[in-house]
Amino acid sequence: MASWSELREELAGRGLAVASVPGKGRALVATRSFFPGEVIVWQEPYVSTPNKISEGSNCDNCFASRNLRKCSVCRVAWYCGSACQKEEWKLHQLECRAIAALTEDRKKMLTPTIRLMVRLVLRRKLQNEKATPSSGTDNYNLVDALESHISEVDKNQLVLYAQMANLVQLILPSLKLDLKEIAHTFSKFSCNAHTICDPELRPLGTGLYPVLSIINHSCVPSAVLIFEGRTAYVRALQPIGKNEEVSISYIETAATTMKRQDDLKHYYFTCTCPRCVKDSEEDALLEGYRCKDQKCDGFLLSNSENKAYTCQKCSISRDGEELKKMASEVLLLSDKASSFVSSGNNSEAGSMYKTVEEIERKLYHPLSATLLHTRETLLKIYMKLQDWQMALMYCRLTIPVYERVYPPFHPMIGLQFYTCGKLEWLLEYTEDALKSLTRAADVLRITHGTKSEFMQELLGRLEEARAEASFRLSDGDEQRIGR
Ligand SMILES: C[S@@+](CC[C@H](N)C(=O)[O-])C[C@H]1O[C@@H](n2cnc3c(N)ncnc32)[C@H](O)[C@@H]1O
């Protein structure tokens, strides 16, 4: 199996090194500078699986979602064509035999996590037997070295991991597995496996990328992880200097410090990034109430026992009881609205969420995360209802908040401008569409590169909007000079 010196060599060739950082463990560090948008590192998964097993949502090999055909033997794996089937064959043939022998009830227990482990065991076996090649960045030693936090995992979780290990043994009866090691590896999955997403950040599957797993978290990350198919690319979001650590975000960062720390709990560390140790103003904006004076953008802090909340900008106070009453009304209505969403009644859900948004506007700061999420929900609902005008209105309202909570080159900002641009194009607001698509391309060029089908489509739309805008301009000029 490939050695650590091979990994060091491969990383050195890319301008990277593995360092040990007190309190963080291993870290990926730049040994040269990287410019925004530059690919720092990319990797194919050691193992991966689509999220929807048996339903055929994505090709097992390239994660494409078109022209899928089921493996006729195991009826679990899906491929978009014979090339992908061939590429996966050595691994799948072992998996296929094992799955095909399962009863229908056992097959139902084949969750993405269990399947990922089955594939991991088999991939290791293939490399050990030299049936498939290994390299400095593609070998089981890298999986072995992953952080597991096993001594901190709670008892109930350990029992669950042990049961899951037993299930893996039942699926692979011909192999004598070390069940303790398998349970330990499930714990590694929990803090190292990556969710494979499409270009619009919708989750498609799970993969283990042991080199990318060396990268630590920051709530103000210097890099971003984006997938093309199941290939993972880490690109710089800002200039990264020599000897600087490369960081990505493991969580949704448009949230208060408390929420972010809570989301990071299953990684067993407390983030000490600049955003987490800063004062509470940003949190007060994200979760706080708005000033009574609708023109004031100050944030409110409570006095003793939350009886009143005082604006830190103009000193006007709001009554705590009245705010509490409004907040519980919002909760009640949101519950009802979400049950309409679950039952597919989008039209009722839309009108109820609109009422929620109106109350929230009076209650929360314009940059509040709660208000943002309501507007995101309204955007989705009106997209489903094909009410483009309403969808555009809510999309536009989310952008100032995105620009406040995300760094300038965050994919979420680019994607929201893209949605805005597409809606404006549909509604024939050509000038606005051109502006939004330009902003989208400026951001997504950095986070997604320019080569993928997704980016080519965006750049094509941008060209189209540019041509249409200049045609309209020249047409207007011609009309003005009386032709
Ligand atoms: C995906 S691994 C990252 C690489 C890891 N440092 C290692 O040594 O393998 C995730 C784990 O790294 C550590 N980690 C990541 N980001 C951190 C941070 N900002 N501060 C402290 N520890 C961090 C935590 O132990 C976390 O569970």
Predicted confidence (pLDDT) per residue in 25-38, tens digit: 999 999 999 999 99
Coil vs helix vs strand at 236: strand
CA nearest 376: which of 347, 406, 396? 396
Q: Does residue 107 have its Cβ closer than 6 Å to ligand 1? A: no
Give nearest CA residue, ligand 1 atom 26.
267
**Ligand 1 centroid, distance to 23 Cα (angstroms):** 9
DSSP string across 188-206: HHHHH-EEEE-TT--EEEE
List, for residues 212-252, the tens digit of each pLDDT value.
999 999 999 999 999 999 999 999 999 999 999 999 999 99
List, for residues 428-444, the tens digit of each pLDDT value.
999 999 999 999 999 99
For 279, other C-beta atoms within 10 Å of its C-beta total 7
List, for residues 415-426, the tens digit of each pLDDT value.
999 999 999 999
Q: Token pair of 145, please? A: 């070295």
CATH class of residue range 406-483: mainly alpha
4-248 and 406-483 have identical folds: no
Which pTM does this prediction carry?
A: 0.93
Contact 110, 99 (CB under 8 A): yes
Res. 157: pLDDT tops 90:
yes
List, for residues 168-187, the tens digit of each pLDDT value.
999 999 999 999 999 999 99
For 125, other C-beta atoms within 10 Å of its C-beta total 16
Give nearest CA residue, ligand 1 atom 13.
24
List, for residues 191-216, the tens digit of each pLDDT value.
999 999 999 999 999 999 999 999 99
* Predicted pLDDT at 479: 58
Res. 1: pLDDT tops 80:
no
List, for residues 321-367, the tens digit of each pLDDT value.
999 999 999 999 999 999 999 999 999 999 999 999 999 999 999 99
H-assigned helices in 172-292: 179-192, 257-263, 274-277, 281-287
List, for residues 243-302, the tens digit of each pLDDT value.
999 999 999 998 989 999 999 999 999 999 999 998 667 888 888 899 999 999 998 888
Over residues 468-480, mean pLDDT: 74
Give nearest CA residue, ligand 1 atom 7.
26
* Predicted pLDDT at 225: 98
Res. 483: pLDDT tops 60:
no
Q: Token pair of 132, please? A: 């498939």
* Predicted pLDDT at 476: 66
Percent pLDDT > 90 in the chain is 88
CA nearest 408: which of 272, 222, 202? 222
Q: Does residue 70 have its Cβ closer than 6 Å to ligand 1? A: no
Q: Which residues have a Cβ under 8 Å from the Cβ of 339 and sit 6 or more positions away? A: none
Q: Does residue 454 have its Cβ closer than 6 Å to ligand 1? A: no
Nearest ligand 1 atom, CA 273: 19
H-assigned helices in 101-198: 104-107, 112-128, 140-144, 155-171, 179-192
**Which residue ranges make up each domain of the chain?**
4-248, 279-405, 406-483
Q: ipTM more than 0.90?
A: yes
- Domain 279-405: which CATH number of 3.40.1010.10, 1.25.40.10, 3.20.20.240, 2.40.37.10: 1.25.40.10
Integer Cα distance of 354 and 136 in angstroms = 54
Q: What topology does CATH give the domain 4-248? A: Beta-clip-like (2.170.270)
Integer Cα distance of 467 and 435 in angstroms = 13
* Predicted pLDDT at 477: 61
